[in-house]
Amino acid sequence: MKILSRSILIMFLFDLMILIISTTMWYEYFNLPPQFYLLTVLLISASGIITLFLKANYKIREFNITKKNAYLLFEGIIFAHILAGLVLFFDCELFSAIKFLLANIFTIFVALKIYRTIFHFYLFNWKKEKNVLIIGTNRDAKLIANEIINKKALRMNISGFVEDTDLTQEVIEDSNHKIFKQPLNLRRIITENKIDIVIISIKRRMEETLLTDMILNIPDDVNVYKMSDFYELVTGKLFVDRLSINTLFYDFMNKRSKVYDFSKRVFDIVSALIILIITFPILLYIGIRVKLTDGGSPIYTQERVGKGGQIFKCYKLRTMYANNYVPKDVKHGGYAENQDEDDRVIPFCKFVRKARFDEIPQMINILKGEMSIVGPRTEWVDLVKLYSKEIPYYPCRQWVKTGWTGWAQINQGHCINNDDIAEKLQYDLYYLKNRNVIWEICILVKAVFLALGGRHG
């Protein structure tokens, strides 16, 4: 698998080194029990790397210094100390354990924050830009060029476009970039402009001999990508057109391993049972409070669309007043379920909705085999009909079971307008193409972190 930057590996190794050194230093300083030394270092180091990864601290293509990133870094370090903290609190002197954890959290956060600040300065001021040449002058070429330009952390410069032989194509009119009109002189163009990356973005099929001649003229030390592959690499979304959909169906959907299907079903059942067992006391408390609020049932069902367009009853925990209840301060303009100011929402249930506790009863649907833990979000029947008419290839997401969480939810969150839904479809189809159980476990863990922070879509 090709990678765009090795900086992520350097950051990973630095973080691991800081986690180990800081934990070792403070553990010895506070003279904690030696029998737990190795376990504490391993727990904090492993948990730290995993949580920082899940909180997008290694997403170099979108790296930036913001308050949100600083908060996510600090939150990840806190999570990294939870398991080790539980071990120490049960077997160490309480005050010493607390001082160790606070000192270690502070030291690790400061060290990683300083490194990220220095890395950010290096990335945007010292790191050499890679020169990119795009073969093609159509809309797809313009699309990938815009992605590169907008993602400044990639440190890539568009050197120009190579026009192919089809002069009827839509030509890019861009005064900031060159358009080379001699495709057979590709080697000279690459050499003179010191090209590092070539992206092939030709919509139609060129004559085989011409395309072969062009590719053979690319030096071996230059990385070559198809536009669709490069688009996936920098966005985490599938480039959607007829060719990519056909490829997705015939090469990925029709050739799934039975081992994968079995493993995924086991993963679904085990995960659903664990989530239900862990959250049962919370769900029971919420359900009792909802019942006492207006006397209505705390559990209700909605008709949702699943795999193959099959309609099933989806279980949810009720967070709104019963239909016959009229709030005292009704606002004008109607209601929408995603509005925080909706007067139908029971006040104490606002966090329940943000943390997605209301969707935990869907574990029943998962155990019944109607849903999966990870997959495209399950939608209402009317919305599926609407989106299927207005968004090309939208029904393709029904090739698999819908999910309690998914790649689209953790990247984009909840959305309602058609442009956002079309983008969400790209995330869903990227998941369909690349899905595997290990990745799905990572998606689930990240979704849990987001839900606990009230940020899961």
Residue 318 contacts by C-beta under 8 Å, 6 or more apart in sequence? 290, 296, 297, 298, 299, 300, 358
Residue 151: both structure tokens together: 């993602």
Rounded Cα gap, residues 134 and 171, in angstroms = 13
Print burial letters for 231-254: b (CB count within 10 Å at least 16), e (below 16).
bbebbbbbbbeeebeeebeeeeee
Question: Which of 93-102, 118-127, 175-184, 308-317 has the weakest average pLDDT?
Answer: 175-184
Looking from the CA of 118 toward its CB, the CA atoms found within 13 Å total: 9
Which of 219, 154, 159 has the alpha carbon at shortest distance from 186? 219
pLDDT at 370 over 90: yes
Residue 397: CB atoms within 10 A of its CB come to 26
Residue 451 contacts by C-beta under 8 Å, 6 or more apart in sequence? 355, 356
pLDDT value at position 327?
42
Rounded Cα gap, residues 162 and 181, in angstroms = 6
Residue 344 contacts by C-beta under 8 Å, 6 or more apart in sequence? 320, 321, 327, 335
Tell me the backbone φ, ψ of residue 318, rounded to 5 degrees. -70, 130
DSSP string, 161-182: EE--S-TTS-----TTSEEE--
Residue 195: both structure tokens together: 């090209």
pLDDT value at position 328?
44
Label residue 172 by pLDDT band (50, 70, 90): low
Summarize pLDDT for 106-147 with one digit per residue, the tens: 999 999 999 988 888 887 888 888 999 998 888 889 999 999
pLDDT at 1 over 50: no
Residue 120: CB atoms within 10 A of its CB come to 15
Quote the radius of gyration of the chain (alpha carbons, Å). Answer: 26
User: Residues of the chain with pLDDT > 90: what percent?
Assistant: 37
Looking from the CA of 436 toward its CB, the CA atoms found within 13 Å total: 3
More confident residue, 247 or 182: 247
Give CATH superfamily name and number for 130-235: NAD(P)-binding Rossmann-like Domain (3.40.50.720)
| 87 DSSP β-pair partners | none
Tell me the backbone φ, ψ of residue 182, rounded to 5 degrees. -120, 80
Residue 170: CB atoms within 10 A of its CB come to 11
Residue 49 contacts by C-beta under 8 Å, 6 or more apart in sequence? 12, 15, 16, 19
Going by DSSP bridges, is the β-strand pair 178-180/299-305 parallel, antiparallel, or unpaired? Answer: unpaired
More confident residue, 163 or 215: 163
More confident residue, 254 or 324: 254
Residue 435: CB atoms within 10 A of its CB come to 20
Task: Parse the chain into domains and list their residue ranges.
Answer: 7-125, 130-235, 258-326+338-452
pLDDT at 91 over 60: yes
Contact (Cβ atoms closer than 8 angstroms) between residue 384 and residue 304: no
Chain centroid to CA 252: how far? 20
Q: Enter the pTM of the model.
A: 0.80
Which of 257, 223, 226 has the alpha carbon at shortest distance from 243? 226
Helices (H), 126-241: 139-150, 186-192, 208-216, 227-235
pLDDT at 236 over 80: yes
Residue 126: both structure tokens together: 């010292």
Rounded Cα gap, residues 33 and 94, in angstroms = 12
126, with CB counted inside 10 A (0-12, 13-18, 19+), is exposed
Label residue 392 by pLDDT band (50, 70, 90): very high
